[in-house]
Amino acid sequence: MAKDKDILPSPTNTGSSRNNTRTHRLLAYSLLVPCFVLGTIVSFRSNNFGFEKLELALSKVTTGCHRNTNNAAGVCSQVDALYPQNSKNAEAWTEFGKLIETNAFKSLAIDKLRGLIKIPSETYDSMPPPGQDPRWETLGQVHDYLAEAFPLIHKTFSLTKVNTYGLLYEWIGTDSSLKPYILAAHQDVVPVNPETVDSWTHPPYSGFFDGANIWGRGASDDKASLTAIMLTLETLLGKGWAPARTVVLAFGFDEEAGGVHGARSLGKALEETYGRDAFAFIVDEGGGFKDVYGTVFATPGVAEKGAFDVKVDVTSPGGHSSVPPAHTTIGYLAALITEYEQNPFPVELVRGSVPHDTLLCYASYGETIPRRLKHAIVKSTHSDKALRKVEELFVLPDPWYSSLVGTTQAIDIVQGGVKANALPESAYAIINHRINTASSIKETSARDAYTITALAHSHNLSLNAFGEDIIAPSAYSPAARGHIELSIAFPREIDPAPRTPTSGEGSEPWEFLSGTIKATYNAHRGISGNNNIIVSPGMSTGNTDTKHYWNLTRHIFRYNHKNSAYGGDIASGVHTVNENIPLDHYLEIIRFFTTLIINADEAVF
């Protein structure tokens, strides 16, 4: 693979042998049925697991679906930059654009974000509902701050608080025939590990501004977007601008814990108030833009992977550690974890998927894309052999893109044992899955059980997977050494999201967003033209609060116009130490929301 290193847009580490991995996977699936028959008593119900259908379902990942096109440009059409047209809107947009460049506005924007960062609105997994845990109470400080920092919004908009801390703002437009739209963000942040505080360049809740960057937890995820939305609307209100199309703001409060209490409640409230498919579009956090192969690409998220947390619980008899068995409960768990990590999910690019469409855009517009890769991508629209070649040249050598394409598994939590001289009666691990868009929770859970069945059998362990006995305790003597239980770890599992239309019928909101992105990019740099930035269907590896908003519209865009081209040693620090955002990037997010809100008034969908 060394000779193909120039094909990747940035240096990467391949990590393992492609051929050996693929051979192993093919062998494993070819033995799917025999493995379940081999000396075990197995009971599967197709309505729960569908093991007998797993091979067929997984084969769909390889086969994919064919597009009626033989060129990349056919699925990466571009629109012109979209600027406000009527005099009122054009004047408001131009004036706001000039305002963003002033030192006074920059100072105002910095102060608004710094104030929000200083509130440690952390959320944790498995928190009980609001009112039952004092950790929620920092969100009350967020509400008080927003009311103080944005008084015109709180005077003009209607505000409904859902499940205590969810925020729904509504600014009624003058034209009721236009569908409203939603701008979404979340108030919460991931916790700061106390052991890492000394590693931060500036304290995590200081909101420190060093003259170029704003530092602190939430600076990038997601308080910059929330503040940008609010400051944009507050400024427009102050200048007397009013919308024709109703604007709704939906701010969840536990996105980092799956939105179980926040966005889920907001989604239900919005559906009850407005009805299904009542909104023109939704914009939430998500993709940004960066240079790839000599061309700047914006990649709004138009789909999302599924998510599924699995608890692997092992129990076995305890006792005194001076007389240990061959394997303790923790030893069994370690073996199971090793088995999972040695058998990752296959990474196979699917024709017609969002990751494949993104590559087609790279092939169409990437100025420096290697000819061999471009040829393979274009040909992959109709050739399975070329599709596998694209995997070999681009997908598999890139850990990030491999994670985007395939179902991932990450063992994130391990716990077991209470005393050094006592054998642990139980131990467990949590596996976090992000499910590829061609798969499902059903397939993922089936494969999890399949992966460890042979190992459980060899250690004389019974196995129950999601309520189904795979290896029943009665299959062995009463001296069975232990039991494995697979279950849902947290009640937030979700299948992959429906895809937002990006071509053909129903793609008008996508075209509107694309033109808005281009206008924003041009305006922030003082340039003109239509293809200074190319807009491509995109998808992130994670999930957003929009997973609870599927019933509200077909047009969900996970995008906040983040400039991903961080220079030098600066890193965004999302979910880790030194989270920060450059001031110029934050200002461009404000410009994006300004352009979006004003353009939405003139859109005809």
Residue that the structure tokens 């197995």 belong to: 42
Q: What are phi and psi of 303, to 5 degrees?
A: -155, 165
Q: How many CB atoms lie within 10 A of CB 105?
A: 17
Tell me the two tokens of residue 401: 């893109």
Please name which of 182, 220, 216, 204 lies closest in space to residue 562, comparing C-alpha atoms. 220
CA distance 479 to 595: 70
Q: Is 226 helix (H, G, I), strand (E, B) or coil?
A: helix
Q: Is 575 annotated as a binding residue?
A: yes
Amino acid (1-letter code) at residue 570: I
Q: How many CB atoms lie within 10 A of CB 183?
A: 26
For residues 212-231, one letter each, b for 16 or more C-beta atoms within 10 angstroms of the residue's C-beta and e for the rest, the string is ebbbbbbbbbbbbbbbbbbb
Q: Is 221 annotated as a binding residue?
A: yes
Please name which of 489, 443, 451 lies closest in space to residue 335, comparing C-alpha atoms. 451
Report the catalytic residues: 188, 255
What are 319's strand-pairing partners? 423
Provide the residue count of the chain: 605
What are 168's strand-pairing partners? 160, 250
Q: Is 143 annotated as a binding residue?
A: no
Beta carbons within 8 Å of 458's beta carbon, 6+ residues apart: none
Tell me the two tokens of residue 59: 């084969």
Tell me the two tokens of residue 588: 């461009």
Q: What does DSSP assign to residue 97?
A: H
Strands, E assignment, 13-66 = none
- Expressed in percent and rounded to 5, the helix, strand and coil fractions of the chain are 40, 20, 40
Contact 363, 369 (CB under 8 A): yes
CA distance 387 to 377: 7
Concatenating the DSSP letter of every residue in 521-570 gives: HHHHHT---S-SSEE--B--SS--GGGG-GGG-S-EEEEEEEE----TT-
CA neighbours closer than 13 Å in the CB half-sphere of residue 223: 34
Q: What are phi and psi of 93, to 5 degrees?
A: -65, -45
Tell me the two tokens of residue 84: 């406000």
Contact 558, 497 (CB under 8 A): no
Contact 188, 165 (CB under 8 A): no
CA distances for 334 relative to 20, 119, 322, 331, 444, angstroms? 24, 39, 21, 5, 21
Please name which of 295, 310, 520, 519 lies closest in space to residue 432, comparing C-alpha atoms. 310
- Residue stretches of the annotated binding site for Zn(2+): 186, 221, 256, 284, 575
